[in-house]
């Protein structure tokens, strides 16, 4: 058994001509009789050895040093709470996937930091709906927005994985609480605890449903408790009454 604790080591089975071990000693495979004739024999056995070649039939010597590494003076760790990081796109009709390929120059989408951290991401057809603390936006998948001379935005096909973000005009968001978000039949419901509102997002847009003759009630009660019912699959707001 070979135990490897550190470093990058590559092993494969290699045919090795091993000397025989007899009477507590190794016996040479190279022998001759009394007449000087060669009577040598072979004793090839498969042995796991470190090797630079994949096979012995083709010249394939190489040296693998692992992934590229760089020395960065004064390096530090950061948490990008307003960025979406993704892999390279993968086609559905091919066997190989790119889920582990992350080109550092193309694999992220930054959203405005002033809108707060990303709390929830909902895939909705050709868009991703992103809920930040104080803002909601739609990001096109393989689509981008093109601004015309009249100031209107037109959706165009793009080779980008994530296109430009289109923000809803009202400054409401999930207020740092991912548990306040509930999705049912492509409709998103969430509670904005900062503004004390219950909001719905569907194909028609954003609607503040807590203002339907119940605005005062929700302002008084929304901060008490809000959760997702696990069996009935619906948002439940509990109060002390």
Which comes out higher in pLDDT, residue 240 or 79? 79
Beta-ladder partners of 188? 183, 201
Percent of the chain with pLDDT over 70: 69
> Dihedrals φ, ψ of 122, to 5°?
-120, 115
* Domain extent listing, the chain: 1-64, 117-237
**Residue 167 DSSP SS3:** strand
Burial class (CB in 10 A: 0-12, 13-18, 19+), 64: exposed
> Tens digits of per-residue pLDDT, 151-166?
566 666 677 778 888 8
pLDDT at 49: 84
Closest listed residue to residue 121, CA positions, set 110, 136, 141, 134: 136
pLDDT at 132: 93
> Dihedrals φ, ψ of 186, to 5°?
65, 15
pLDDT at 228 over 50: no
pLDDT at 17 over 80: yes
197, 206 Cβ separation under 8 angstroms? no
Which comes out higher in pLDDT, residue 164 or 218? 164
86, 98 Cβ separation under 8 angstroms? no
Which comes out higher in pLDDT, residue 196 or 143? 196
pLDDT at 221: 56
Total-model pTM? 0.54
CA distances from 106 to 9, 87, 89 (A): 32, 9, 11
Beta-ladder partners of 35? none
Which comes out higher in pLDDT, residue 157 or 204? 204
Burial class (CB in 10 A: 0-12, 13-18, 19+), 137: buried
pLDDT at 224 over 60: no
């Amino acid at each position: 058994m070979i135990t490897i604790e550190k470093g990058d080591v590559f092993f494969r089975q290699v045919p090795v001509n091993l000397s025989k071990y007899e009477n507590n000693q190794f016996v040479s495979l190279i022998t001759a009789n009394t007449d000087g004739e060669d009577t040598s024999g072979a004793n090839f056995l498969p042995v796991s050895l470190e090797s630079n070649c994949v096979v012995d039939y083709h010249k394939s010597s190489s040296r693998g040093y692992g992934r590229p590494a760089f020395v960065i003076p004064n390096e530090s760790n950061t948490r990008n709470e307003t960025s979406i990081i993704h892999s390279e796109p993968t086609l559905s009709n091919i066997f190989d996937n790119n889920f582990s390929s992350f080109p550092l120059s193309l694999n992220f989408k930054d959203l405005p930091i002033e809108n707060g951290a990303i709390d929830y991401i909902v895939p909705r057809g050709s868009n991703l709906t992103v809920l930040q603390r104080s803002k909601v936006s739609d990001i096109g998948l393989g689509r981008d927005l093109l601004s015309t001379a009249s100031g209107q935005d037109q959706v165009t096909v793009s080779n980008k994985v994530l296109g430009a973000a289109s923000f809803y005009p009202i400054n409401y968001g999930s207020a740092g609480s991912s548990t306040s978000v509930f999705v049912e039949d492509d409709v998103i419901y969430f509670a904005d605890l900062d503004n004390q509102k219950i909001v719905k997002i569907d194909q028609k847009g954003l609607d503040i449903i807590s203002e339907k003759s119940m605005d005062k009630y929700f302002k008084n009660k929304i901060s008490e408790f809000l959760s997702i019912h696990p069996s009935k699959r619906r948002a439940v707001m509990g109060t002390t009454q």
